[in-house]
Amino acid sequence: MKYRSLHIIFQISLIIVFFSFRILVQKKDKTVSFLSKKTTVLAGESVKLEFSASDDNIQLFCTSSYSTVILTPKRVDKIYQFDLPKHLTNKRGDIVWNVIHQNKTLLTGNITVLPSKEKTIMESYAGPPSIVAGGEDYFMLTVCPTDEYDNPLLDDTNVLINYQFDSKIVSSNEKIKNLTAWKTIFSYEKSGRFLVNSECNGVSSKEITTEVYPNNAVRFKITSSRYHDYADGNQIASFKTSVIKDSYGNIVSDGTHVVFVTKNISGDLLTSYGNTIAGVATGKMLHPDRKESWKTFAYVDGIAESDTLNIKFKELFTDFQVKFSEDNREITVGPIKSFMNQLIPDGFVTKLNIYQKDTLLEIKEVPTRKGYAKFYLHPDFYIENSYGLKIETGGITKNFIKALKN
């Protein structure tokens, strides 16, 4: 029994020794050494990794942010060479490699690819495309220098930013950080145009333009002009602003919209519109057709307002004639004469209000022609009866009570 136990122990010992020896042999058989000394390369360079290995069946498993590949070596003597593909080595970043044998990793490492120094390409952007004068608004120039393989240059690479305004040129050195270099450029008090560009590694970007428009308009004045001051309902009254400027003395942009508002005696609001040219806007309004007093001002919507003008219009005439036919159905108003005893312009409005027992039946309006206005009360609408007739023109009213006949 004792002998049998010893025999079993001996067999187990042999098995342990056998497997231990086999493991040592396997480890020895799969020894790999990295022979290449460069661990940092520039984009575009040819990259060859060399290894010594005790096994012919090794492969190189490479991973980068762009792709993953498995490479088979080329053997030269006892050295195994792996040529990394261009689509990996042309892109900045780390390439992690693993030497594998039968899906097991024997050795691992990495190669760092830096941007190429052969050629620099400038990408630059500025926005917004327009700002306002005054020193508070600004735009930003952003520069993205890359190499010829579209790799962003390294942080802390120097970028020279130049900008010109009026006759002033300013240069500023900025550093690349997180792939870009940038600068905020504030406006001056004067309106105009910025020209900006950037340089890196001796390469210049394109020129970029940013417009500086005038700031908000400030209070301004208006004037009026007219050929005469009579309320003829025919001539034009013109209103003109002073040169509208911002608080820094810049003339507002052409096309700035100006509203002219007139309030008459009755409280009605009349409006006219104009757009600035060289800072000046003009509005026009037709003369009233009766004695009137206007209060007129102008404004740039939500921004600035003018002073108020008081404008008076004289009555065009003080009296007019009215003639009735025998049946009182045909009414002739005129001749109506103007301030120089001339006939009033054609189109001057004359109104006839028709009443019966204080009830308004109808209002008729006709324009004058050659100084006369004519009305006709048709028997089909107005039977024989007495009617109150009120005639208005030029702000003057005359009242009659007439019996209409057939």
CATH of the domain at 269: 2.60.40.10
For 157, the 3-state DSSP assignment is coil
CA 152 to chain centroid = 29
Beta partners for residue 173, in sequence order? 160
Sign of CA dihedral 393, 395, 396, 398: positive
Q: Which of 72, 90, 114 is the last residue of a domain?
A: 114
The answer as to whether 138 is a domain residue is: yes
pLDDT at 406: 83
My answer on whether 388 and 304 are in the same domain is no
My answer on whether 226 and 207 are in the same domain is no
My answer on whether 296 and 228 are in the same domain is yes
CA distances 32 to 47, 56, 257, 363, Å, are: 19, 11, 81, 113
| Residue 191 amino acid letter | S
Q: Which token pair is 261?
A: 């508002």
Say which CATH number the domain at 361 has: 2.60.40
Q: What is the pTM of this model?
A: 0.71
pLDDT at 9: 53
The answer as to whether 248 is a domain residue is: yes
The count of domains in the chain is: 4
My answer on whether 297 and 268 are in the same domain is yes
Q: Which token pair is 15?
A: 């098995």
The answer as to whether 259 is a domain residue is: yes
My answer on whether 257 and 202 are in the same domain is no
Interacting residues of 132 by C-beta distance below 8 A, sequence separation 6+: 187, 212, 213, 214, 215, 216
pLDDT at 334: 84
My answer on whether 72 and 131 are in the same domain is no
The answer as to whether 6 is a domain residue is: no
pLDDT at 366: 93
CA distances 314 to 92, 227, 271, 394, Å, are: 85, 13, 21, 10
Phi/psi at 55 (nearest 5 deg)?
Answer: -135, 135
**E strands along 178-305, which residues?**
181-186, 192-200, 203-204, 208-213, 222-225, 236-241, 257-263, 269-275, 282-286, 292-300, 304-305
My answer on whether 165 and 230 are in the same domain is no
CA distances 53 to 81, 152, 283, Å, are: 11, 37, 93
Structure-token match 């900006």, residue found: 196
The answer as to whether 262 is a domain residue is: yes
Instruction: Check: CB of residue 314 under 8 Å from CB of residue 338.
Output: no
My answer on whether 108 and 149 are in the same domain is no
My answer on whether 202 and 226 are in the same domain is no
pLDDT at 13: 54
The answer as to whether 13 is a domain residue is: no
pLDDT per position as a tens digit, 137-178: 999 999 999 999 999 999 999 999 999 999 999 999 999 999
The answer as to whether 26 is a domain residue is: no
Which residue stretches of the chain have pLDDT < 70? 1-30
Q: Which of 57, 83, 114 is the last residue of a domain?
A: 114
CB hemisphere CA count around 50 (13 angstroms): 9
My answer on whether 56 and 70 are in the same domain is yes
**Structural domain that includes position 358:** 322-404
Q: Which of 94, 114, 134 is the last residue of a domain?
A: 114
My answer on whether 109 and 125 are in the same domain is no
The answer as to whether 20 is a domain residue is: no
